[in-house]
Amino acid sequence: MEIQTRPGNRGVSCGKAYPLVKPFLKWAGGKRQLLSEIKKHLPKNIQEYTYYEPFVGAGALFFDLQPRRAVINDRNIQLMLTYTAIKENVEGLIALLKQHKNTEEYFYRLRNADRHGERFKGMTTIEKAARLIFLNKTCFNGLYRVNSRGFFNVPYGKYKNPMVCEGAVLRQISRYLNGGTIDILSGDFEPALMDAGKNAFVYFDPPYHSSDKTGFTGYQAGGFNQNDQERLRDLMVRISRRGAKCLLSNSDTEYIRRLYSDDFFEIIPLRAKRNINADPAGRSNAREVLIKNWKDPCP
Ligand SMILES: C[S@@+](CC[C@H](N)C(=O)[O-])C[C@H]1O[C@@H](n2cnc3c(N)ncnc32)[C@H](O)[C@@H]1O
């Protein structure tokens, strides 16, 4: 089972043909609570575009829109292997998920597989996918977080009845991923957009800029620094010149406002509720912005 490394040709349409389809993981920065706000700022004729989401995470907007043609990408290879496993062998994945046991000892045995390189390397794609889903559903606060060595490091959550295997949802996601032209990539955001042009709508949801360094950055070893934020802005300018429509989420900081201060961009402030945050006080209201690169005609 291989993840593609580069997208092919596409064109498009969207439609909610799969009502059970929704994110199959909890993900830091997931956009479920912001969907109604974000959807107010999509291009009017979104169904005519090829949808790109280069930082897809758990895919809240992607699964909500269900585009028929899309390119999804994330640098987290375990995550994108899981999308691929759902697409290519959902029944095998469900069978494995049903075997997992919700005990502390079992959790740590599976969690620690990545600390033993050979054991992890020897696992099949569906075994790795089942491990990621199981750990995400049973770990504390439902989260994917790794330490600087790339080892999953969230403790056991002690939940009584976590929903580890949502078979009907996974089967419908699999049907959706196989029903259209959905390219599943894993890598940095830049190559994922190499052919995004006039017919592309791109939703960028990168790790957020944090002015006080307390923001969540543990999606994978390596993080996302100011150089990456600037690379992203430059890419957005480049693909805007090729005619792509871009919408970006980020935190509402002075730095981000400065980065996108060109008239070319419109900055829309939002108030967002965050679910996953190391600091429970941070669950209330965070300030975020949406940044778009096109102006809708006056009604
Ligand atoms: C804010 S989360 C996206 C959340 C997603 N929109 C959702 O609804 O769940 C940011 C994602 O960017 C990914 N990421 C971090 N650095 C990246 C890079 N250089 N290229 C591509 N993806 C990256 C992380 O693995 C993480 O999944």
pLDDT in tens, 62-108: 999 999 999 999 999 999 999 999 999 999 999 999 999 999 999 99
Q: In this predicted structure, what is the pLDDT of residue 30? A: 85
Range 274-283 average pLDDT = 49
Q: Is residue 2 pLDDT above 80, yes or no?
A: no
Q: Is residue 217 pLDDT above 90, yes or no?
A: no
Distance 212 CA to ligand 1 centre (A): 20
Q: In this predicted structure, what is the pLDDT of residue 212? A: 67
Q: Whose CA is nearest to atom 8 of ligand 1?
A: 30
What whole-number distance in Å separates Cα of residue 38 and Cα of residue 49? 17
- Confidence class of residue 295 from pLDDT cuts 50, 70 and 90? confident
pLDDT in tens, 28-53: 888 888 999 999 999 988 989 999 99
End-to-end Cα spacing for the chain? 48
- Confidence class of residue 176 from pLDDT cuts 50, 70 and 90? very high
Distance 59 CA to ligand 1 centre (A): 10
Q: In this predicted structure, what is the pLDDT of residue 291? A: 97
Q: Above pLDDT 90, what percent of the chain?
A: 71
Q: Is 218 exposed, middle or buried (0-12, 13-18, 19+ CB in 10 A)?
A: middle
CB of 216 closer than 6 angstroms to any ligand 1 atom: no
Q: Is residue 12 pLDDT above 50, yes or no?
A: no
Q: Is residue 230 pLDDT above 60, yes or no?
A: yes
Task: From 219, 220, 227, give the residue whose CB has the most ligand 1 atoms within 8 Å, as the site to mutate.
Answer: 219
Domains, in order of start, for the chain: 32-78+168-292 (3.40.50.150), 83-162 (1.10.1020.10)
- Confidence class of residue 285 from pLDDT cuts 50, 70 and 90? low
Q: Is residue 5 pLDDT above 60, yes or no?
A: no
Is residue 68 within 8 A of residue 180, CB to CB? The reply is yes
Distance 299 CA to ligand 1 centre (A): 34
Distance 275 CA to ligand 1 centre (A): 16
Is residue 159 within 8 A of residue 102, CB to CB? The reply is yes
- Nearest atom within ligand 1 for CA of residue 57: 27
Distance 28 CA to ligand 1 centre (A): 9
Q: In this predicted structure, what is the pLDDT of residue 219? A: 54
- Nearest atom within ligand 1 for CA of residue 190: 20
Q: Is residue 170 pLDDT above 50, yes or no?
A: yes
Q: Which of 27-31, 101-105, 123-127, 182-186 bottoms out in mean pLDDT, i.e. has the lowest?
A: 27-31
- Confidence class of residue 213 from pLDDT cuts 50, 70 and 90? low
